[in-house]
Structure 1
Amino acid sequence: MHLWYAYMTPRTIVPVIFGLLLTVVAVEHIFTMTILHGKSMPFSTMLLSTSGNGSDLHCPSVRLSARVLPQIALASYPGSGNTWVRHLLQQMTGIATGSVYTDEDLRLHGFPGESLSNGSVVAVKTHQLYDETFYDRTILIIRNPYETFLSLFKYIKANHTGAPIIDKYITEWGSFTANEIGHYGQFYTSWMKHLDVLPIFYDALKQNLTQELHRIKVFLGQSGIKGNVRCALANADGNHLRKHSAMPLDFFYSKEKRLAINLLINQTRKMFKDRFRNVSESMGTWML
């Protein structure tokens, strides 16, 4: 049998071998950078992720939509996991999420649609009260207010993934929570006015991510937006999950604050049960 290298001279073999070595090094570098930085690869060098059943999973890099999409709000009270859900939406659809805000850190680290709120993005992050003139549909994230206030305080004092120093809790935490209780109720009361809302509970995402992603996929599909749940599951955490406190929640809340927040939870639970009768999330377990 004649082999191709049998016809090559030492002068021609060396460049070929050198070229193969460069290719191996380049591929290894791409894989390493992708793992270290958690960034989507360009479509031309897309990785093949393998699902649990052994089939190949092709997930494109995040991009703006080539067609005009409906205005879908990704609404939540600050500290409820909006950034995480944005990441999941992008992984699932391959389309960038937008925002009514401008956060350069997010723009540079996985959210190319940051500050966009037009039809080029799959959903628009907002913490604002409901504006009936702007959004066609809404994905509404709800989280236990005890966890929400703590997460928001950490963000304000230490940005996306840090933790504030203990002095901040001593001097500012009490007045901060007192202020947020009223705003939390006002926010969700406002968004109950929207006629097309998909409620997504943060707890449910943590406990059964696959099921909740399928609910979101069906909701988006009604607007002609395709999604692959397995692409979201392949990189479910993203890069902006905030570290949880080692202290129990009741450590941060006085008896007086707990009474006020428990009342808030009861009011919010009644509001959601009246509007969404098929919502199974038990807000009663949130109370301290």
Structure 2
Amino acid sequence: MFLNATRNFKLYIALFLIISVSIRFYTNIVENGENHAYQSVRSKLTLQQPSKERHISSSDRSMETKNISDKTNIFLRGETNMSELTDIRLNDGSKGFKYGAQFQKFNTSRIGNSKTEADNCTKKEVLLSQTNLPITGLVSFPGSGNTWTRHLIQQMTGIGTSSVYCDGSLKVRGFPHECQHDMTKTVVVKTHETRHFNMFTKIVLLLRNPYDALLSFANFKTAGHTGHIPEKVLIKASNRSFELWLRKYVNLTRSTIKAFKGPVHVIQYETLQTNMSRELKKLASFFDLNISDRDIECTVKLQEGNFHRLTNEKQHVELLRAVYSKEKLLRLREAARYSEKMLKDAYNIDIDLGGHTEKILLQGF
């Protein structure tokens, strides 16, 4: 009986051990399966969601972020040179960056695919430079497109332009730094007069064909930046001051060549219209500013400013023929050829100041 009890006890012990081992083995299988399933799900989630280093979420686009990867993303999009990138605080409290002397606000609408960016150009906020710039004169005869050219320069650079005249109507309509006293903070300074040359380090000489320049000036004298006046009034104004204005037109180029000894960049209004991208790139180089192709592209798309007088070409040609007699047309042609020769001799550049307008007006002469 005692032997039977002992035998039964050993049997129970063996059975208990077998059951324990089986339970432990089953538990390991379940745990391993769950862990494998978890890893599998985690891997799928990882593949479905890009890492923070590769994905720019809305929070990453916040103006307050200082993560260096955000700066790298801006650099890779061609905004600026990474070695020159510095955070700044703008006047409205938002953050931006500067490179060299140029400033640009962070624009989250520009973070995306290239097609979206190309279709969404926005007008830049015009700021003063935080570093001193060479005082550069934007010199032109009145009516040569000075105000429109300033608009293009501001859109391209994001830096304000100023004027020696402080025109209140311009200050409130797109040129907030028109009356800026510290001209080292603006990219160009408007003038029509040689007496201001002594304040400039460099000059951009803006030229327009004399036929349109004198007509536009006569229009401005009577109707302002964008208005139009009756033909009779325009003819009367032109007759009264034609010879004076023509002398001033020629003398401005002559005085720039003879009196100013610093760097001069000559730009033609008509060429700026027909080949804007190329001419803007030349201007950016003359300003010694880093301007991206994107900035050039958007400037071309947003080229119309608040002070660009719109007119029908056919009506414009008819008006020119009404205002200028045959004698005046010949005098204007003479002035154009003389100015072209001066520019060729001084700067070795070939400019056709008569252009398309002259060809139309002087047909049959």
Counterpart of 1:283 in 2: which secondary structure? coil
Equivalent pair of 1:178/1:257 in contact (CA under 8 Å): no
Q: Distance in 1 between matches of 2:155 and 2:330?
A: 40
> Equivalent residues in 2 for 1:161-200 (5 A)?
161-193=226-258, 194=260, 195-200=262-267
RMSD between aligned alpha carbons? 2.5
Equivalent pair of 2:161/2:178 in contact (CA under 8 Å): yes
Equivalent pair of 1:59/1:94 in contact (CA under 8 Å): no
Equivalent pair of 1:76/1:126 in contact (CA under 8 Å): yes
> Equivalent residues in 2 for 1:111-130 (5 A)?
111-116=175-180, 118-129=183-194
- Per-residue deviation, 1:92: 0.8
Q: Point out the more displaced range, 95-104 or 128-137.
A: 128-137
Counterpart code for 1:54 = K
Residue 250 of structure 1 is matched in structure 2 by: 321
Q: Point out the more displaced range, 81-90 or 244-253.
A: 244-253
Q: Distance in 2 between matches of 1:157 and 1:51?
A: 48
Higher helix share: 2
Q: Give the TM-score taking structure 1 as reference length.
A: 0.77
Q: Distance in 2 between matches of 1:97 and 1:51?
A: 31
Show structure 2 runs of 5+ residues with no match: 1-91, 95-104
Structure 1 residue 94 corresponds to structure 2 residue 158? yes
How many equivalent residue pairs? 243
Equivalent pair of 1:77/1:187 in contact (CA under 8 Å): yes
Output one character per residue of 1:48-88: Cα deviation in whole Å (capped at 9) or x when no partner.
36999526368741011111111000111100000011001
Q: Give the TM-score taking structure 2 as reference length.
A: 0.61
Residue 145 of structure 1 is matched in structure 2 by: 210
Output one character per residue of 1:72-111: Cα deviation in whole Å (capped at 9) or x when no partner.
0011110000001100111111110000002111100110
- Per-residue deviation, 1:231: 3.6
Show structure 1 runs of 5+ residues with no match: 1-41
Structure 1 residue 218 corresponds to structure 2 residue 285? yes
Residue 132 of structure 2 is matched in structure 1 by: 68
Q: Distance in 1 between matches of 2:190 and 2:287?
A: 15
Equivalent pair of 1:181/1:264 in contact (CA under 8 Å): yes
Q: Distance in 2 between matches of 1:90 and 1:166?
A: 34
Q: Point out the more displaced range, 59-68 or 259-268.
A: 59-68
**% identical equivalent positions:** 32
TM-aligned CA distance change 1:284 to 1:147, over 3 Å: closer
Residue 61 of structure 2 is matched in structure 1 by: none
